[in-house]
């Protein structure tokens, strides 16, 4: 019986172009502090078989609430009103949680963003995917196993037999995402909801996942793709709806909307993209928020060495002893220099050695071979005592700002701690400098008493930048500082970093997997692969004519978005 089911499902055609999901005038409200807040405001859309509808907007626009509502998971206390809410022609308005459970996985599949936390680390991938079938009492025994392996193959997982026995921790990011997709499609749902499915992936893996999603629509699936990445939308979406504050402000054919946006908000979203905009061009029209930032008289001279390079890395090599006794070369003979006031973009896929280079630059790791000179003096392989007094000269901005703050501290304590490290002891001076720093990064002084948890992603990154600037460094190491921010916030932070650089003459090492961002910020680019430098040169020359095949592949894989100016 179950075998028949499989063939029936596979042969489902989508010549009937009845929408798989119809939503008309949907609103969702939550009670917050005894007031009703409308998070979704009067939204209508249809999901057509074989088509991808992309939902774009900044964080807080209500995209995720919409996705959860479509899965019947809006949450306790949510008030949902809709004129029409149909799945495969059946009204689901007022359905019980039990009815929704039968629908999830079977009629609607969900692909989540973070594959690492969405998969159970204690169960094999095969067991995890099989459970979805059990939940719907689909297939049994041998058929069940067959179906799990088929779903894994459909999701593009090589050697499914072997992978099914592995655990999520043993898989790469790309394979984990594929495992999630296999899990979403295993019970043959016709509607798929993908919530930022490629955000955490590097560009070539991202490309493969997008191709996979596209191929699913060829077999009649309707996909709702939630993303903040316009490049992704342009790449695979058929239709697009732009969301802002719970409303859809613009919708239509993806190419038309992106080519000729009519709503001012859509235009500002597109303008915020860094791709195709060389260094020095502001992403947002707003004037520099950075006011004159006077260094206190007591401060040490910012750049003791005016001539020469800020950082010179000579033939860095770092090896690790693997568990199985094999030696792993994480960084292999890497050399580069960063000029004063210049930005070096460090590009590469995951596992390319970017993080190890960052650790060596920060003086947390010593290279096995090679050396680093910082501001004209030796920096690597120093005794910690000698290094410590110069540590303030190179500061780091992390990908996850929240994780880089001591969880016990409020903003003021974070800044106090950083200023204290640079030798300021007078409380009133520290307070004044803290306020100046906040002002400098575009935050209000009242934020001093906030806990970073209470701030938005962009505000947190501003605090992190303020902390990095507190000891008056000469060099800033930015490790994917905008990777988890949406387009507008990303543009604000990039503009802020550019302003800071021109104000303070900082040298920046900017690590990113996002080629658009690198193109915008970098003067020179170093491309890493498997721990080796495969290409380096000025940003313009590398972009204009990438010499190495891997660089070309990287560029080709990146969702392409050229500003239409």
Partner 1 sequence: MTNLLTTAGAAPDLSSRWASKLPLQRFALGLAAAVLATAALAAIFPQLLVDQGPYDIDPTNAFSPPSPQAWFGTDQNGRDVFSRVVYGARASLFIGIVAISIALFLGAVLGITAALGGRWLDLTIRRFIDVLYAFPGMVLALVVISVLGVSELTMAIAVGAASAAGYAHIIRAQALIVTRSDYVAAARALGHSPARVLIRTILPNIVRILLPLATLGVGQTIVWATGLSFLGLGAKPPAAEWGAMLSDSRNYVSLAWWLTVFPGAAIAVTALSLTVIGKSLQARVEGGRVG
Q: Determine if 408 is a binding residue for partner 1 (CB under 8 A).
A: yes
Instruction: Tell me 247's DSSP state.
Output: E
Tokens in use for 137?
């009492």
Q: Is 145 helix (H, G, I), strand (E, B) or coil?
A: helix
Q: Determine if 364 is a binding residue for partner 1 (CB under 8 A).
A: yes
Applying CB under 8 A, which part among 187-195, 310-318, 372-380, 398-406 lies near partner 1? 398-406
Gap between the Cα atoms of 479 and 396, Å rounded: 7
CB-nearer residue toward partner 1: 17 or 456: 456
Among 43, 67, 82, 257, binds partner 1 (CB under 8 A): 82
Q: Determine if 562 is a binding residue for partner 1 (CB under 8 A).
A: no
Q: Determine if 322 is a binding residue for partner 1 (CB under 8 A).
A: no
User: In whole angstroms, how far apart are CA 456 and each of 60, 443, 461?
Assistant: 10, 12, 9
Q: Determine if 422 is a binding residue for partner 1 (CB under 8 A).
A: yes
Gap between the Cα atoms of 45 and 42, Å rounded: 10
CB-nearer residue toward partner 1: 39 or 347: 39
Q: Determine if 116 is a binding residue for partner 1 (CB under 8 A).
A: no
CB-nearer residue toward partner 1: 29 or 536: 29
Q: How far is the CB of 66 from partner 1 (least distance, A)?
A: 13
- Binding to partner 1, residues 458-497 (CB under 8 A): 467, 470-471
Among 183, 266, 404, 459, binds partner 1 (CB under 8 A): 404
Beta bridge partners of 374: 311, 377
Among 6, 80, 116, 271, binds partner 1 (CB under 8 A): 80
**205 within 8 A of 174, measured Cβ to Cβ:** yes
Q: Determine if 392 is a binding residue for partner 1 (CB under 8 A).
A: yes
Q: Single out the residue of 350, 352, 370, 351 nearest to residue 360, CA to CA.
A: 370
Sign of CA dihedral 177, 237, 250, 288: positive
User: In whole angstroms, how far apart are CA 418 and each of 403, 405, 507, 535?
Assistant: 16, 11, 20, 36
Q: How far out from the chain centre does Cα 432 lie?
A: 35
Please give the order of strands across the beta sheet that includes 35-47: 35-47, 21-32, 84-87, 90-91
Among 169, 296, 308, 403, binds partner 1 (CB under 8 A): 403
CB-nearer residue toward partner 1: 217 or 484: 484
Q: How far is the CB of 105 from partner 1 (least distance, A)?
A: 14
Q: Determine if 396 is a binding residue for partner 1 (CB under 8 A).
A: yes
Among 227, 342, 395, 501, binds partner 1 (CB under 8 A): 395
Q: How far is the CB of 377 from partner 1 (least distance, A)?
A: 15
Applying CB under 8 A, which part among 11-19, 65-73, 269-277, 439-447 lies near partner 1? 65-73
Beta bridge partners of 512: 347
Gap between the Cα atoms of 174 and 188, Å rounded: 22
Tokens in use for 18?
């009845």
CB-nearer residue toward partner 1: 14 or 440: 440
Tokens in use for 425?
């002891």
Torsion of CA 518, 519, 524, 530, to 10 degrees: 50
Q: Going by C-beta distance under 8 Å and a sequence separation of 6 or more, which residues neighbour residue 368? A: 317, 318, 319
DSSP H or E segment with residue 509: strand 507-512
CB-nearer residue toward partner 1: 156 or 457: 457
Among 46, 114, 417, 553, binds partner 1 (CB under 8 A): 417
- Binding to partner 1, residues 266-305 (CB under 8 A): none
- The residues binding partner 1 (CB under 8 A) are 25, 27, 30, 32-33, 39, 65, 68-69, 72-83, 85, 93-95, 97, 100, 362-364, 384, 388-392, 394-396, 398, 400, 402-408, 417-418, 421-422, 453, 467, 470-471
């Amino acid at each position: 019986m179950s075998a028949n089911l499989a063939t029936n499902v596979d042969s489902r055609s989508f010549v009937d172009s009845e929408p798989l999901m119809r939503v008309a005038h949907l609103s969702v409200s939550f009670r917050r502090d005894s007031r009703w807040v409308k998070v979704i405001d009067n939204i209508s859309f249809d999901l057509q078989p074989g088509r991808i509808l992309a939902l774009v907007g900044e964080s807080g626009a209500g995209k995720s609430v919409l996705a959860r509502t479509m899965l019947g998971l809006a949450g306790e206390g949510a008030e949902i009103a809709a004129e029409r809410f149909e799945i495969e022609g059946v009204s689901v308005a007022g359905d019980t949680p039990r009815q929704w459970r039968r629908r999830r996985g079977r009629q609607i599949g969900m692909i989540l963003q973070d594959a690492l936390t969405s998969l159970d680390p204690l169960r094999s991938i095969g067991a995890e995917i099989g459970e979805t079938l059990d939940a719907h009492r689909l297939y049994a025994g041998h058929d069940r196993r067959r179906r799990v392996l088929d779903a894994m193959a459909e999701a593009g997982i090589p050697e499914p037999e072997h992978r099914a026995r592995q655990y999520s921790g043993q898989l790469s990011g790309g394979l984990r995402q594929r495992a999630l997709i296999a899990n979403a499609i295993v019970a043959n749902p016709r509607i798929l909801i993908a919530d930022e499915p490629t955000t955490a992936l590097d560009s070539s893996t991202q490309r493969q996942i997008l191709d996979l999603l596209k191929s699913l629509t060829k077999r009649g699936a309707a996909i709702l793709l939630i993303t903040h990445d316009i490049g992704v939308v342009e790449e695979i979406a058929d239709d697009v709806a732009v969301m802002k504050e719970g409303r859809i402000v613009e919708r239509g054919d993806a190419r038309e909307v992106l080519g000729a946006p009519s709503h001012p908000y859509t235009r500002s979203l597109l303008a915020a993209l860094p791709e195709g905009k060389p260094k020095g061009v502001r992403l947002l029209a707003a004037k520099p928020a950075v006011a004159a930032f006077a260094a206190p008289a007591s401060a040490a001279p910012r750049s003791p060495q005016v001539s020469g390079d800020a950082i010179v890395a000579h033939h860095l090599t770092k090896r690790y002893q693997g568990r199985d006794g094999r030696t792993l070369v994480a960084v292999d003979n890497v050399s580069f220099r960063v000029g004063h006031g210049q930005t070096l973009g460090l590009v590469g896929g995951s596992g390319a050695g970017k993080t190890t280079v960052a650790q060596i630059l920060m003086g947390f790791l010593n290279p096995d071979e090679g050396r680093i000179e910082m501001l004209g003096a030796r920096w690597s392989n120093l005794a910690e005592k000698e290094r410590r007094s110069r540590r303030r000269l190179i500061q780091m901005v992390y990908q996850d700002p929240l994780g880089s703050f001591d969880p016990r501290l409020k903003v003021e304590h974070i800044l106090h701690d950083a200023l204290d490290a640079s030798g300021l002891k007078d409380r009133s001076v520290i307070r004044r400098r803290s306020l100046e720093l906040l002002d400098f990064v575009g935050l209000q002084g009242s934020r001093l008493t906030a806990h970073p948890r209470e701030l938005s992603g962009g505000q947190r990154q501003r605090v992190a930048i303020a902390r990095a600037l507190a000891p008056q460094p000469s060099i800033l190491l930015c490790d994917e500082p905008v990777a988890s921010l949406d387009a507008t916030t990303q543009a604000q932070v990039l503009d802020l970093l550019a302003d800071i650089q021109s104000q303070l003459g900082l040298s920046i090492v900017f690590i990113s997997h996002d080629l658009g961002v690198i193109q915008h910020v970098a003067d020179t680019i170093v491309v890493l692969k498997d721990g080796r430098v495969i290409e380096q040169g000025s940003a313009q020359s590398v972009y204009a004519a990438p010499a190495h095949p891997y660089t070309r592949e990287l560029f080709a894989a990146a969702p392409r978005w050229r500003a239409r100016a």
